Structure 1
């Protein structure tokens, strides 16, 4: 069976070496790069299963690297950054990252998060296309197997977390999900203090992409004091 390959993009050599050491002990292949442009080149040239990404890098910063990755690929992205404010974390997750760790960090915790993200990605990939059903309502068509969304005959680009939230809500039309439930289902981990803000920001950007500020259709409704539901 092909070994999993993880890209480590960090211009701090000591950090990259430490991460690589622990990934190797876990049985993973790894590739190290020290700037954003090289990270994009590696991802374009070969199969990468997960990316561990610093934000403050030469050439292209981590946010721009994430934006370019998400335009084409769905592999998990974990930010590993010295930027530690709640705003930094939320910004990283909204950009399309699947997880965010701050430096200094516990290497074993990072490995545990890598394992969790890879398990989740594999579970998503193992879902048979025959078991997937197209979701369609009011000009919105969702193709879960292709991870594609069409709105009024035009494709719209969603981050992986935005897509997962949309599928969760649309797949259970009229069911109200609390922010905690959405976080646990989509992020696949225990709810934490900033989880509510994280979900709220993702819902807001998702609504904007669905054109709810200019179209009459309102796909996602806020049930005040409870959570969110999809109008199907």
Structure 2
């Protein structure tokens, strides 16, 4: 069965455009005109992805995104007129998988949706992520190198696993040290060099396990996962 996309958008014209393009590409869709309806539909239908506007009646997109993240790991793409860097950073920190600014090209929205869904293999609730040769099982806290000659489990600490899993949700995106600190060290006062140390250990384990070059340092910014072509 094709993936189900929940489109949470209060502007009818935009919702109809997104709906038409998603259906044209073979997705099933369901529409929500306000934040509370989006949460209700998410609870009952368990969609594979949510396209989420920020400015909506009842409950705004920030509130909805926070609740979706408390519920689990359903992929969320923010589609909004808010184009400030702080808005984008807030969305990514709360847990959005991607962020698109209106006016948008519907074809690009479809491409982003397809790319995110391709990275999330296995069950629709995103328990399994795949980046290059690395497979990350969110539910079982397992990371595995998958190669033609077989599978090799990585012996990671909890912090190393959290960093890998967080970055695996959006390969190629650069994560700052502040973002990794907030996501992987909840309620802890952690210095940037501590993040660097954990990332360094994780990189060495990935290289030793058979995934060299996957975890890349972007000088002066942070880190990203860069799967080989």
Q: Same fold (TM over 0.5)?
A: yes
Do the aligned partners of residues 87 and 79 (structure 1) sit closer, same or farther apart at CA in structure 2, a change above 3 Å counting?
same
Instruction: Please identify runs of 4+ aligned residues in structure 1 that moved more than 6 A.
Output: 128-131
Contact 1:212 1:219 in 2 (8 A): no
Give yes or no for contact 1:92–1:100 (8 Å, CA) kept in 2. Answer: yes
Q: Does 1:188 align with 2:199?
A: no
For the structure 1 residues 35 and 59, does the alpha-carbon distance in structure 2 shift closer, same or farther, using more than 3 Å as the test? same
Superposition TM-score, scaled by structure 2 size: 0.68
How far apart, in 1, do the equivalents of 2:54 and 2:24 lie?
25
Structure 1 pair 136–222 and aligned structure 2 pair: CA distance change class (3 A) = closer
Whole-Å separation in 2 of the counterparts to 1:3 and 1:228: 37
Given that residues 79 and 92 in structure 1 are in contact (C-alpha distance below 8 angstroms), is that contact kept between their aligned partners in structure 2? yes
CA 1:167/1:187 → structure 2, altered by over 3 Å: closer, same or farther?
A: closer
Counterpart position of 1:211: 188
Distance, in Å, in 1 between the alignment partners of 2:183 and 2:91 is 15
- Provide closer, same or farther for how the CA distance between residues 90 and 30 of structure 1 changes in structure 2, counting only shifts above 3 A: same
Contact 1:219 1:230 in 2 (8 A): no
* Residues 40 and 186 (structure 1), Cα distance of their counterparts in 2 relative to 1, 3 Å cut: closer
TM-score (norm 1): 0.67
The superposition leaves residues 155-208 of structure 1 with CA deviations (integer Å, 9 ceiling, x where unpaired) of xxxxxxxx4x3448xxxxxxxxxxxxx6xx55224x5xxx4xx52331231354
Superposed, which structure 2 residues align to 1:105-120 within 5 Å?
A: 105-120=104-119
Deviation string for 1:202-226 (max 9, x for gaps)? Answer: 1231354162449xxx994437xxx
Give the CA deviation at 1:229. Answer: 2.7
Instruction: Please provide the CA RMSD for this pair.
Output: 3.2
**Number of residue pairs the alignment of both structures matches:** 182
Where structure 2 has 5 or more consecutive residues not aligned to the other structure, the ranges are: 123-127, 145-152, 206-229
- Between the aligned partners of 1:15 and 1:115, the Cα distance in structure 2 is 19
Compared with structure 1, are the counterparts of its residues 141 and 83 closer, same or farther at alpha carbon in structure 2 (3 Å cutoff)? Answer: closer
**1:47, CA displacement in angstroms?**
2.2
Contact 1:49–1:76 (CA under 8 A) maintained in structure 2: yes
Provide the secondary structure at the position in 2 that maps to 1:48. coil
Equivalent residues in 2 for 1:1-232, closer than 5 Å: 2-122=1-121, 124=128, 137=157, 140=158, 163=162, 165-167=163-165, 186-189=169-172, 195=174, 198-206=175-183, 208-209=185-186, 211-213=188-190, 220-222=194-196, 228-230=199-201
- The answer (yes or no) to whether the contact 1:220–1:229 under 8 Å persists in 2 is no
